[in-house]
Amino acid sequence: GQQLNQSPQSMFIQEGEDVSMNCTSSSIFNTWLWYKQDPGEGPVLLIALYKAGELTSNGRLTAQFGITRKDSFLNISASIPSDVGIYFCAGQRNTDKLIFGTGTRLQVFP
């Protein structure tokens, strides 16, 4: 089955730094979602995007729905230790089931 490619696979950054990650697909999506998974827990929705070019923020997190509808981006500003976890993108075409990305593992050092 199709999967979404996320990059980078992992990031090791210092507290206070900004983070950028992206997700790409060979297919067009109507919805892009970003989830965060804390260690030992299930994913939790961070941001949902529904329109090409849409830019949405949730606190220090900002996500964008790519113009081509084949990609999406997530930025975290001024990272803190609790940002540690795995970030997943997910895309949906029409009423198809969600397709998840391969994940970006983020480690933040104080």
Partner 1 sequence: NAGVTQTPKFQVLKTGQSMTLQCAQDMNHNSMYWYRQDPGMGLRLIYYSASEGTTDKGEVPNGYNVSRLNKREFSLRLESAAPSQTSVYFCASMKGTTTNEKLFFGSGTQLSVL
* Closest to partner 1 by CB, 18 or 96: 96
Distances (CA, A) of 18 to 3, 38, 48, 65: 26, 19, 21, 19
Position among 11, 19, 21, 33 found at the interface with partner 1 (CB under 8 A)? 33
Tell me which residue of 14, 54, 63 sits closest to 36, measured CA to CA. Answer: 63
39 binds partner 1 (CB under 8 A): no
Residue numbers 60-89 binding partner 1 by CB under 8 A:
88
55 binds partner 1 (CB under 8 A): no
Per the CB < 8 A criterion, the answer to whether 46 and 34 are in contact is yes
Cα separation of 32 and 22, whole Å? 11
Minimum distance between the CB of residue 47 and partner 1, rounded to whole angstroms? 9
Cα separation of 79 and 107, whole Å? 10
Position among 22, 101, 106, 108 found at the interface with partner 1 (CB under 8 A)? 101
Residues interacting with partner 1, by CB under 8 A?
1, 3-4, 6, 9, 31, 33, 40-45, 48, 88, 90, 92, 95, 97-98, 100-103
